[in-house]
A and B are shown apart, each in its own frame.
Chain A
Amino acid sequence: MSEEIKRSYEKYFREHRLPHLWCPGCGNGIAMKAIVMAIEKHPELNKDNTVIISGIGCSSRASGYMDFDTLHTAHGRALPFATGIKLARPDLKVIVITGDGDCTAIGGNHFIHTCRRNHDLTVILFNNNIYGMTGGQTSPMTPKGKKATTTPYGAIAQPLDPSALAKAAGATFVGRSTAYHVQHLASVIEQGLNNHGFAFVEAIVQCPTSYGRKNKLGSPADMMKWMRDNAVMKAAWDKMSDEEKTGEKFPIGVFLDTRAEEYGDMYSKLIDRIGGKNQ
């Protein structure tokens, strides 16, 4: 059964590194596929002019499987590294892969300020609602009432909404999709890549091993069916009454796609204005 077949997006994988280390049924592999599908659709992106930066955690192992210049940084610090790379080489497309713990807990301050400065980065947050790599501890994005090893009686604090945070902090693109909606997710990422500014995409992924098992959410496929049954396209969501937005329903789609001056561009203008020489 070893007939040779290769999809065109697979050229962006480091084949010798596969299979990846993610658990059976983990949504990260699907989100990573959506990213390379989006890169493939972008006419100007290639392996030489695109770099992938990640933090620490399950999500952040993705960088090692992608055949670009890739950087697996420290926990929470993907955005500062990405900022340095983007300012040093504005011609490179910089894509950041992060997780809910990496981006919104330990890296939360970097997230706010990288949005605020509006660096041209595309950030994809793999949201599995939990710390998977360390064995299932609660994250800032664990929904209220859901269990983790460090919230054995259920999380009591409200979860963080990074889309709302990104918008408020000055991101120019904000979107969300899920591992179930693979093509939609790829399309949202593609639109994010086309936005010349801080683009944030939340990819909801299933963690069957920790989050799913702790909360009795069934098989990986069951967790994806939950995404199918609860995600509402933004256009429909906007028409829904508050009463209809109950239970676990959540919107997916592009929530913001706007333009604002990008930090590196503004800095280049500053150099010109003061008579410095742009390098």
Chain B
Amino acid sequence: MKARLMQGNEACAEGAIAAGVRFFAGYPITPSTEIAETMARMLPLCGGKFLQMEDEIASMGAILGASLAGVKSMDATSGPGFSLKQELIGYGAVAEIPCVLVNVQRVGPSTGQPTAPSQGDVMQVRWGTHGDHPIIALSPWSVRETYDATVMAVNYSERFRTPVILLMDEIVGHLRERVELPDSVEIYPRRQPKKTRAEGYQPYEPDEDLVPNIADFGKGYHIHVTGLIHDETGFPVGSPEVTEKSIRRLHEKIARVGEEIIHTYEYCMEDAEYAVVAFGGTARTAYETVRRMREQGKKVGMLRLMTIWPFADAAIKRVAKKVKGIVVAELNYGQIVHEVRRAAEGRCEVALCGKYNMKAFEPEEIEEAVKAMMEGGANK
């Protein structure tokens, strides 16, 4: 293990390669471009392929194609590009194609503020593509965790055969930190068919974990893949029963593992009377807020969400039972706060500390929000 000075976006690219990603298609967009640039340099060195496509949609299509052909694939973008990719994220979800899509968030809507930090895409990540679908989204807070979360995202995408979103923000994407990277990482291998064609192999027959073992293209299985609702054979079926069963299984294959993929971290929560809930780059500031307030003898802690979706209902409930109030700090007009409020079920006060002016939080701003709540004045 050698210490290196590295940027969050670079750590993302290196994590992807360590996790076995050998195909990247992308389109330049700030503040995610360094991921594509790093991939363009590194992938051919390890026999992988990088392709800058004609547009954002094409990039998403290309990674889905490469993944179907058995090569682990990734794409990275920011707000406007993320909007353009929405249809094909749904395609990946319903056709059950593993892939990782990185969204380094910037201020929106529309072209917005291209290089300024924001966390305004958390709800788009959940509901951006049309129709009911599951989604996994991870949001790292440091350069080293970006590396680990990228590996985790690749592994989850393979295990659950679903698109996984790495939800970064400009703060973490452009952050440079000293990191020590592991020599190797655990890799979830591509799932393989457990039956031959002669044994009646069906590409969308779910395994015990409700995930199908879809054969890679070019392995002689002659499978059909479509974005239409399909049965276990992979062919479209216009039946209410199959439609209901398919949509239910897509959700349950992820829901059934419950807390296992929901990563949250607590700081100074043992005796906390107030909690700050934060994620990504904002959690770095919130951590400093908590440190300062502890120095002042205030019983404040932090719950950091690394898994954004599925939402950490249990962790929020646990904290809500314990504290008098929760301040949700997020760089937007208020998005995750609604989820926190829902999960808290009225057990404690929940207030938003939102910011949407291109600037990252200052510790004092979050401190003020917590103090306002302590004084009973922040009941928004």
| Residues of chain A at the chain B interface (Cβ within 8 Å) | 14, 17, 47-49, 51, 53, 63-64, 67-74, 77, 79-89, 91-92, 109-110, 112-113, 267, 270-271, 274-279
Count: A-B pairs, CB below 8 Å = 149
Asked if B69 contacts A276 (CB within 8 A), the reply is no
Secondary structure dominating the interface of A: mixed
Is the CB–CB distance between B49 and A267 below 8 Å?
yes
Question: Could you say which residues of chain B place their CB within 8 Å of the CB of A279?
Answer: 22, 47-48
Bound together, the chains give a CA A147 to CA B59 distance in angstroms of 35
Residues on B close to A: CB < 8 A?
Answer: 22-23, 25, 44-49, 51, 53-55, 57-71, 73, 87-88, 91, 215, 217-228, 235-236
B62/A81 in contact, CB under 8 A: yes
Enumerate the 3 nearest inter-chain pairs by beta-carbon distance, A residue then B residue, closest first: A84-B65, A80-B61, A279-B47
Chain B residues with CB below 8 A from A270, complex form: 44
User: Which chain B residues border A267 with CB–CB below 8 Å?
Assistant: 44, 49
CB distance from A43 to the nearest CB of B (A): 19
In the complex, which residues of chain B have a beta carbon less than 8 angstroms from the beta carbon of A109?
Answer: 54-55, 58
CA distance A113 to B44 in the complex (A): 21
Given the known interface contacts A71-B65, A85-B65, A276-B46, the answer about A80 and B53 at a Cβ–Cβ threshold of 8 Å is yes
Complex-state Cα separation, A88 to B22, whole angstroms: 9
A74 and B61 contact, Cβ closer than 8 Å, known pairs A270-B44, A271-B44: yes
Interface of B is mostly: mixed
Which of A53, A113, A274, A277 meets B54, CB within 8 Å? Answer: A113
B54 touching A48 by the CB < 8 A rule? no
Contacts of B221 in A (CB 8 A): 69
Residues of B within 8 A of A271 (CB): 44-45, 47
CB distance from B80 to the nearest CB of A (A): 16
Assess the A17–B61 pair: CB atoms within 8 A.
no
Q: Which residues of A contact B73 (CB under 8 A)?
A: 84, 88
- Chain A residue nearest to B70 (CB atoms) is A88
In the complex, A277→B49 CA distance in Å? 11
Task: Name the B residues within 8 Å of A81 (CB-CB).
Answer: 61-62, 64-65, 68
Contact A17 to B58, CB < 8 A, known contacts A74-B91, A87-B23 = no
**Separation of A88 and B99 alpha carbons in the complex (Å):** 14
